[in-house]
Amino acid sequence: MKVTIVPFFISHWGCPHRCVFCDQRKVAGAEDVLPAPAEILDRVAAYRRSSGSGSVEVAFYGGSFTGLPRGEQELLLKPLQPLLASGEVSGVRVSTRPDSVDNRCAAFLGRMGVATVELGVQSLDDRVLELAGRGHSAAHVAAAVSELKGEGIRVGLQLMPGLPGDSAETSLASLAGTLALAPDFMRIYPTVVLVGTRLAELFAAGSYRPLTLQQAVALCKVMLHRAMLARVPVIRMGLQPTEDLGQGGAVVAGPYHPAFRQLVEAELRYDLLVRLAAEVPRDGAAVEVSCSPDRVSDVVGQRRSNLKRLLREQGVRVSAVRGDPLLSSPDMAVAGPHGVRSGNILTDLKYSDKDINYV
């Protein structure tokens, strides 16, 4: 059952650094002051009423929660203790920096009912971290994950491919290092240049070139595939569309797309389509495609892009895409003059690092 999240955005609170890419106000919206205890309780009650859910989860997004003075952390968490004890709040999640977590911090979070911590890792390449102004090293990430897991806290890790000094090679190395830490889930945010950031200045000066949308999709397709193989859920790809991001001028450059995840998922399905249609005559022969019902739009692609591309590049026409409840999310079948060929994204697709190199 899907858990109802009660969100509080504490953008940039607790952060000792301003990273080159950062404008949390545009990314997540901002609250100029930390929420008061009464506001926290009122919002939890309102979400419980509107959702009809017996239990909700409270999330403090943005900023570096554990970078706040301990007294301010307690001010945010103490009002939730009776609700955690009663089960009205099932858990709390916070976001923070890897270098703002030590053993005492992890123990405090565990005592206060924090069930999940998301760490803004961005990269595990120390040079990339330095150029991004992160103020921490890759070693801090491993240490923080170890401390949090030692307290039984779920850990999510966020990566940001395409930062200054990054490459396909370093992005994939960061992914490998991240998967080796066995996080409970991941988010992948290709770097986007936002107005008012240091990155925007570097872009204007010609000293930083962001990924194109095509490059970001090609890279993140492989990253997602490897995470799937490692059985680590990627719960988000690409920035969450917000009112600020949707306004003209907020995004200066880079691979921002409001449906970035679908572009990546569609690319995976296209690659499997090509493989399964390999024996179909290249004369416009028609095939029918079957997939999991929740993956029909990914197989078709935005504006039918996958079907148009398959005809244009492979000479194969898709007459229908049907949802089959017997097929799982990675499965697909293509039926045509050659008979029926079935495949699976995880077992039938393989990607080499050389497939996605960019300069």
**Angle in degrees, 0-180, between the axes of helices 103-111 and 138-150, rounded to the nearest 10:** 40
What residues have CB less than 8 Å from 299, skipping those under 6 apart?
266, 269, 273, 289, 291, 306, 321, 332
Q: Would you say the C-alpha torsion 183, 187, 188, 189 has a positive or negative sign?
A: negative
Per-residue model confidence (pLDDT) at position 344: 98
What residues have CB less than 8 Å from 159, skipping those under 6 apart?
121, 122, 123, 171, 174, 175, 178, 186, 187, 188, 189, 223
Per-residue model confidence (pLDDT) at position 27: 46
CA separation, residue 238 to residues 12, 27, 159, 208, 233 (Å): 19, 11, 10, 20, 15
List the chain pLDDT tens, one digit each, 359 residues: 678 999 998 866 656 667 898 875 544 444 567 899 999 999 999 999 998 877 899 999 987 999 999 999 999 999 999 999 999 999 999 999 999 999 999 999 999 999 999 999 999 999 999 999 888 999 999 999 999 999 999 999 999 999 999 999 999 999 999 999 999 999 999 999 999 999 999 999 999 999 999 999 999 999 999 999 999 999 999 998 877 776 667 999 999 999 999 999 999 999 999 999 999 988 878 999 999 999 999 999 999 999 999 999 999 999 999 999 999 999 999 999 889 999 999 999 999 887 775 54
Among 347, 293, 338, 294, which residue's Cα sits nearest to residue 316?
Answer: 338
Domains of the chain, earliest start first: 4-258 (3.20.20.70), 265-350 (3.30.2320)
**Residue 121 to residue 174: CA distance in whole angstroms:** 9
**Angle in degrees, 0-180, between the axes of helices 260-276 and 305-314, rounded to the nearest 10:** 40
Per-residue model confidence (pLDDT) at position 249: 79
The two most distant CA atoms of the chain are separated, in Å, by 71
Residue 248's Cα: distance from chain center in Å?
Answer: 24
Per-residue model confidence (pLDDT) at position 295: 98
Q: Which residue is listed with tokens 């909700």?
A: 56
Classified as helix, coil or strand, 59 is strand
The angle formed by the CA atoms of residues 183, 187 and 189, to the nearest 5 degrees, is 145
